[in-house]
């Protein structure tokens, strides 16, 4: 009985951690997944569009701001950058920085 309880707690603990992580990140996770249709699944591109996976967080945010402000030349990216907030740039940047 004791052993079963310990095992239950062990599993519950692991699952709990997963559940919390998912609850916290569901929005960022979707926003990042939204980039995949051009930048590839997990931000790993199969063509001329740059990959986002593993980009340093500060660099990602800086590029988004430069796209938004028209400081970096773009075809589609200014249109996308203007639709997101600074906080959303940060959330997406953190997501892609964590992908190896």
Partner 1 sequence: MAFDRREFLKVSAGVAGAASLGTLTGCAGTGPSAGGARPKVVIVGAGFGGATCARYLKLWEPKIEVTVIEPNDVFTSCPFSNTVLAGINNMQDITFGYDNVKKVVDKWVKDTVTGIDTAGRTVKTAGGATFAYDRLVLAGGIELMFSAVQGYDAEAQKSVMHAWKAGPQTATLRKQLEAMPDGGVFVMSVPRAPYRCPPGPYERACTVASYFKKAKPKSKIIVLDGNEDIASKKGLFLAAWKKHFGYGTPDSMIDYRPNNMPRAVDPKKMMVGTEFDDVKGDVINVVPPMRAAEVCGMAGVRLGLDGKEGPWCAIDFRTFESLHVKNVHILGDSTLTNFPKSGSVANNTAKMAASAIVEMVNGREPDAAPVVTNTCYSATGMGTAFHVATVFRYQAAKKEADGKVTPPAMIAQKGGGVSKEESELEFAYMDAWAKNVWADTLGLPENFNFTVKG
Task: Tell me which residues touch partner 1 (CB under 8 A).
Answer: 4-5, 7-8, 11-12, 14-15, 18-19, 22-23, 26-27, 29-34, 36-42, 44-49, 53, 68, 75-76, 78-84, 88, 95, 99-100
Candidates 59, 69, 66; CA nearest to 94 is: 59
Beta strands in the chain (DSSP E): none
Nearer to partner 1, 65 or 84 (CB): 84
Candidates 25, 58, 55; CA nearest to 40 is: 55
Nearer to partner 1, 45 or 62 (CB): 45
Indicate the SS3 state at residue 40.
coil
CB of 29 to partner 1, least distance (A): 6
CB of 19 to partner 1, least distance (A): 7
Structure tokens that stand for 5 in this block: 């309880």
């Amino acid at each position: 009985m004791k052993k079963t309880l310990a095992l239950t707690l062990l599993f519950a603990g692991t699952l709990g951690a997963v559940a919390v992580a998912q609850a916290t990140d569901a929005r960022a996770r979707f926003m990042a997944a939204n980039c995949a249709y051009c930048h590839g699944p997990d931000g790993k591109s199969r063509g001329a569009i740059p990959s986002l996976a593993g980009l340093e967080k500060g660099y990602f945010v800086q590029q988004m701001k430069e796209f938004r402000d028209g400081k970096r030349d773009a075809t589609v990216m200014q249109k996308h950058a203007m639709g997101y907030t600074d906080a959303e740039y940060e959330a997406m940047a953190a997501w892609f920085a964590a992908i190896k």
